[in-house]
Structure formats: structure tokens, C-alpha cells
Structure 1
Amino acid sequence: MQGIAQLLNHTSFLEQWLHSMNVAIAVIEQNNDLYTYTYMNEEMRKSFGECIGKTIEAVHTKEEVGVLARSLKLAGSGEGFSRAERVTVQSIPSTNSYILEWKKESVENNYKSMVEESPNSIIVHDCHNHLIYANHSGVELLGANHLSELLGRDVSTFIQNEPRVDIRNRLNKVLGGEPGSVLLERTIKRIDGRSIEIEMSGSRVEFNGAPAVQTLCRNISERRRKQSRLEEMAYYDQLTQVSNRRYFFNQLQVELEEVDENESILSLLFIDLDNFKDINDQYGHQVGDDVLVIFTKRVKQMLRDTDTFSRLGGDEFVVLLTNLQSSSDPEQVAERMIERVTQPIVIDEKELHISVSIGISIYPDHGTTREGLLTKADQALYEAKNNGRKCVEVYKHV
């Protein structure tokens, strides 16, 4: 005999009729002590999700499983029928299958129970983008104490840095049936004024008999902070808080790709602290570290926001100057830098004196690649050291 689930799935008229019913209907097949779903109509799918092939334990709460198991046993004991507070069970003659009809009130309560207990923040809005529901986690996410503080608000007003017309268009597409499950990361401003980072995805649902959009949200602010910290550690020197070698080479490549379009001059200043080893040997590495921190602060104070200042390692630093109008500009900057950093440094009531030597290379006169420009600046620095230190040398063609 053909199984009832197969009959339901292959008899188009009966299938369409069951799918159109505003009642959650399903078929369960018994195999020893296991009860497995073999058919469900659309209302059942909306209420419980995809059930076919799953046992009742995998679909329902413990309380529901208890009610359902008792009803199934009663229906299979010879009565052929069982009615409980939430579900009606009818055995199918000459089969080991049962038809279930869940009461609408039970289905709605099941949905609300699952949503309220969900660790995700769930927010529902209507076709006018007005918030009509949020679970407890969603209320907290939006900075409210009670759902009543949020009802009726335009959900697009929470999202920052995105035109409202784009937000509404995206939400309307979801309402129109287009897939909306793509994860988006956005900044939202809560009703308490605090901004947080969230991850969200939306889908079309029926809410109180009308089409709506259900959005699942997660607060990812802490994850973003950790990512930012990791990026900072990857690209910045932890002692001096200036960018490191890796960041410098990346930025230099970017600037080289754009310099011709800007029709401007680009230059490298290769900087080395003179006799820095003597400070470490005489006063210790802690004082040496303090000197490096003070030195970098002085240099940063005299540079523009568009300039890049990086520590290559040890007492070697490099400055990338961009958007220069004259090839004489780098040398003038370097001379002012020497004057600024040679001012006395006081640490633990000790007055220390430092100086720097600087080698300069200029694009495109001295090179057009990262390696070429840095090599030429290094050669110019070598000349500055040989010329008595505390001076500036521009690369000269041999």
C-alpha cells in the first residue's frame, strides 16, 4: 500500500489543499520507539522550520515531546484518535503513520517561546519599516528597557552611515520575496545614544497574518575591537606607537602607484640616531626606550597628517613625504627635524643629548620602486654618517 506521505506529496490537489490551510498539519511515521516527520504543510514549516526526516525530539521542546508522545500512544492503542490541549493526532488505518494538527494558539506560543529564548537579537518590522516586535535580547541590543519604548519606530533610523533610501529599498526587496539572508555588518545608534557594531540578516515572515521582515542581529563590537587591536599589533611598533616596517612598505607601494596621477614629488628620509648604543650602554635599555619614545613624539609633532613615519627596527626610522611641490622640500624638512630632535632630553633628572643623521632619496630622480628608493636613501645616510653625523645628505648619482 502506498504510504500516506507519498500520497500527500504526489497528489497535487490534496497537496495544494493542505498547503493552503491556515493550520499546521504534518504526518509522522512510527518505527519502533522513533517518531519521524515524513510530511508537513507550509503552515507547519513556518511554525517549526524544516521537520521532514527529523524525530520529534529534534524538533520540539521537552514539554511538547511529552504531550505529543502521549497523544501518539493513545492514537495508536486502538482508539485511533487523540485530542490534547495543543495537538490533535489521528492514526492512519493499515499504516504506522499519524496525521497531526497543531492548534494555532499552540503554534504561535511555540514561535514566541523559541524567539524569546533565542540568544540572538530578533527584531521584526512591518512593510512601513515600523518596528512591531523585538525579543528580550533585541530590546537590550537597541538600548531599551521595555519593548514599548521601541514599538512604532522606523528601523532605518537606527542604522548609521547608510542612506535611509538604500536601507528601505533593501528591506522592501526582502518583503517582496528576494533572499535576504546575506550577513551584513553595520553600525547602529541605540536609543540611549551609544553606537555599536552589529552583524545582521533579514528574511520575510508572516507576523499576525501580515508580511513582515524578521532581522537576526548579533553585537560584534567586541569582535571588532579585537580585530582592530590585532591589526594595530600587525602594523604598529608597540614601543613608539608609530607604524612598523610592514606598514611602511605597504603604504609606500600605494603612494608610488598614485604619485604620477597627482603630478607631485615623493621623498624618503632615512633616519638613524647617532651613537644610540652609547646611551643604552651608559644608562640602560629602559632609558634608551624612553629616548626613542620622546624622539618619535618630537618627529610626529612636526609632520603632516599625510606623511608616514615608521620604525624599521632598532634606532632606524623612515619618513615618507608625499604631495611635495619642490625637490628642495625634503632637505628643508630634514634640517628642521635635526634642529628639533637635538634639543636636550631630561629623564630621571638626567639631561641627555641626541642627534640624528638623515639620508634622502626623491622619486622619480633617484628611483621608481620601493627597494630602489630605500637603497638610495640608505646610501645617502651612509654619506651623512661619514661626514661627521648630525647632518643631511641627499643621494648623489655616482
Structure 2
Amino acid sequence: MTTRQTNIDQNILKLVWNNTNDAIFTIGYDGRILSANPAFTSILGWVQEDFNKHNCFPFFSNMTDEEHKQLLSSFKEGNDIPYYVTKRKRKDGIVLDILASYRAINKGEVLAVGMYKDFTEQMEIQRRLQASEDCYRNLVEFIPDSIFIEKNGQITFVNQPAIKLVGAATAEEIIGKPISQLVPENMSQQFLNRIRESSLSNKPIIEQIYRFDGTHIWGEIITMQIEFKDDKVLQILVRDVTAKKNYQQQLEYLAYHDPLTGLSNRRYFTEQINRELEQDANDSKILGIMYIDLDRFKAINDSLGHEIGDQLLKQFAIRLKESVRNSDIICRVGGDEFLVLLNGLNNKNDAAIIASKLNNESKKPFIINNTKIEISSSIGISLFPQDGIDSKKLIQRSDEALYKAKITRNTYQFYDESNSKL
């Protein structure tokens, strides 16, 4: 190497030594600091004169003589110490977080070279993040709602209520799994789309959540974007609303069904017949309305009691469902009166066949509490469009036909305008 090249290298090293932001220092075989660059003094406050007074690192706040000897022995054996975060004391007593490393030299009077980087700010940020995370964890563990943290489709955190919600034993059974495991596989993409849309709109959604044991609950889900562990993630809050959902479904059911027989009620029947009339008006199909009444029901109800009467109505409703087609709609009007919407009849005879079958089924004895009860049914029938084109008129005319059937009982009658009582 030429003298010129040597001078260039030394100048470069001098520039680095004097201008780097990291503290660099050399260590002698006796443990003294031989030299330190300006950044060392800038970071820790110690100057070269301070090192002449010590044969141990004065910036080590708690190093014993024995530990110092072990460190020197390690350097003499050629062992380097890679980067690690530790504590170092400034001359004014302030303790800093330092990213430290050492390289064994064992050449000339230099045993090793040390390098320090002030890491106090980075560690303070990390401590704040950790404190923020710890605060978040403590908070979510005490709220009753289930919290799932999701990133890139995977669950990264759950609280105890969430573990209980899905029926898991530990968080490890959930963390690392896709959030879509909460719904059936064929609904996973739709579910992911909905929770992401919810995070943008801030509107809750209601979903069926499947538990580990195969059962499911109804969950109200609120999704929001948050920062967790310095990452942007989705916080998914799930509230069990199964009881509320079941109550709503029960109310909806009761709004359209008869509580005794489970058949549809007059409100539902009217909505359905109006819809069918609107559709069949364009299709030129025949519809039938059967108005049914049980013969002698009042006498049975009065003599045997309302409990027996209710059981009779429930058993008759079963026979009624078995006598009509699956496409037909059955309604309990009230008391012992029923309505049936006969869909898509080919002709008048189709209605007659169904009515005749029901008359025959009604005559078969009913056994209730070991009591044999015999009744029959009377049926009035009106047809669309010949007897009317709206639900009110058709029901009214089937009622008129029923009035005539009740004269002889156990039979059916079609509406006949020429014999109408109105």
C-alpha cells in the first residue's frame, strides 16, 4: 500500500471517528478506555480525562470488578458481543437505553472496540406502545363483549369473552386462525366483505356465529379500524344477541301465525291471497277459497271443556294440512273457522276433490284424553276469477257458500250467485 493510499485511509477513518453519530471507543488490556470519539462525550458526557482515573468502565452503573474481569477475558479469547440493548449511565447520573456492541481486536495495545447508539427514544416509544397495548388488553378483558383483532384475515388477539363465545378452551385455539371460521365455509367471503364494509360505514351487522361445538348464536358485530402493536388492524366487537333475535323471531311468528294451531293467521292469509291474486290475474289461473267450519264444535267445547276443545282444534289442523296440497295456504280465522287458499287449480273439480277428502277425514273419530270425539266439517268454496277478483269478495262469497253447507252439514258447497243471500 502506498503512502498516499495510507494517508487517504487514515483521513477517512478520522472523518468517521469525528463525525459519526455513534459513540466509538477503544479498550485496553487493563480495562481502561484508551480513546473515545466526540459522539461518545456528546451521548454520555464522559471525557478522556475521566477514563484516566478508572480502570473500569465508569458508565457501567452496576458492574462489579469480577464481571469486568470476565468481560476482558472474553475479549482476550477473541469473543465478540453482538448488538443488544442495555443501560448505561451518563456522567450527570441519567441512565440511558443503549444499543451496544463490542468487537475483540487483540492487536497492539487495543483489546477491543466498543460502539454505542443512543436508543433511549426508540425504547421509550416501545415502552409507550407496550403500555398502550397492556392498557388495551386490561380494558378489553373487563368488558363483557367479545373482541377479536384481525389482520390480513387472521385473528391476532382475542379477549376472554371471545374465547367463551366460540366455545374454545384457550386463546391459542383461535389466534392464527382465519376470522372467517366464525361462519360456514360457503359464507366466508361474504362475511369478510360485510365486516370490511361495516368498518367503513360504522354500522353494526347481524350474523350467525358458529361455535366450536357446531351450535350457533346470533351476533351483533361492530367493526372498526384501530392501531394495535403499531399496525393498522380491524377490531371486531361481537355481542351475543341470540335472546333478542329469538324474541324478535317469535314476535314475527306470532304476528303471522295462530298461537294454538301454528297455522297462519288472517293477516298473513290476506297478504298471501292478495299476492297470489295479483300474480294469477296475469297468468289466467284458477284460485279457490275454502271457508271451513267444524260442525257441533260449540256443543263439544261447552260439554267437555275448553282444554279438550283446544286439543280438538289442534288435531283438526293436522288433518287439514294432510288433506290439502303443500302449495296451499291454511289459515285459522278464529274459533273453529278456517280458510284455505287453493293455488293453481285446473278446474272446479280440483277444489271439489280436496273438499271431499277433508270432509271424509273430519268424520274419522278424534281420540283426546282417552275420549272418542266425532265431528264433521262444512265447507264453502268460492273461485277466482268467476266469483270475485279481490280477497274481500272471495272470502265473503266462500262464507256465503259455507252458510248453505251448514244447513245439511258434513258437506261442501260452491258459491252460487243465483242462490246468494245478499
**If the length of structure 1 is used for normalisation, what is the TM-score?**
0.68
From 158, 161, 168, the counterpart of 2:192: 168
Question: Counterparts of 1:161 and 1:295 in 2: how far apart (Å)?
Answer: 43
The residue that corresponds to 1:333 in the other structure is 354
Please tell me whether residue 131 in structure 1 is matched to residue 155 in structure 2.
yes
1:116-150 CA-partner distances (Å, limit 9, x unpaired): 111111111112x0111111111111221111000
1:5-27 CA-partner distances (Å, limit 9, x unpaired): xxxxxxxxxxxxxxxxxxxxxxx
AA in 1 matched with 2:139: M
Return the offset for 1:351.
Answer: 2.6
Question: Counterparts of 2:194 and 2:303 in 1: how far apart (Å)?
Answer: 66
State which structure, 1 or 2, has the greater radius of gyration over its C-alpha atoms: 2
Question: Counterparts of 2:244 and 2:192 in 1: how far apart (Å)?
Answer: 27
**Number of equivalent positions:** 293
Please tell me whether residue 363 in structure 1 is matched to residue 388 in structure 2.
no
1:182-209 CA-partner distances (Å, limit 9, x unpaired): 1101112122211111110211112222
Question: Counterparts of 2:196 and 2:323 in 1: how far apart (Å)?
Answer: 52
The residue that corresponds to 2:409 in the other structure is 389
- In 1, are the aligned partners of 2:133 and 2:229 still within 8 Å (CA)? no
Please tell me whether residue 344 in structure 1 is matched to residue 368 in structure 2.
no
In the TM superposition, what are the counterparts of 1:42-81 in structure 2 within 5 Å?
none
The residue that corresponds to 2:132 in the other structure is 107
Q: 1:147 to 1:348 in 2, by over 3 A?
A: closer
Q: 1:104 to 1:280 in 2, by over 3 A?
A: closer
Q: 1:104 to 1:208 in 2, by over 3 A?
A: closer
Runs of 4+ in 1 over 4 A off after TM superposition: 170-174
The residue that corresponds to 2:173 in the other structure is 149
Question: Counterparts of 1:165 and 1:285 in 2: how far apart (Å)?
Answer: 54
Q: Name the SS for the 2:200 alignment partner.
A: coil
Please tell me whether residue 219 in structure 1 is matched to residue 240 in structure 2.
yes
In the TM superposition, what are the counterparts of 1:1-398 in structure 2 within 5 Å?
103-127=128-152, 129-160=153-184, 163-171=187-195, 179-261=200-282, 263-386=284-407, 388-398=408-418
AA in 2 matched with 1:316: E
Question: Counterparts of 2:225 and 2:165 in 1: how far apart (Å)?
Answer: 21
Q: Name the SS for the 2:212 alignment partner.
A: coil
**If the length of structure 2 is used for normalisation, what is the TM-score?**
0.65
Question: Counterparts of 1:151 and 1:257 in 2: how far apart (Å)?
Answer: 54
AA in 2 matched with 1:194: T
Question: Counterparts of 2:282 and 2:183 in 1: how far apart (Å)?
Answer: 36
Return the offset for 1:313.
Answer: 1.1
Task: Supply the RMSD in Å over aligned alpha carbons.
Answer: 2.2
Structure 2: stretches of 5+ with no match in the other structure: 1-124
Q: Name the SS for the 1:328 alignment partner.
A: helix
- In 2, are the aligned partners of 1:267 and 1:320 still within 8 Å (CA)? yes
Structure 1: stretches of 5+ with no match in the other structure: 1-100
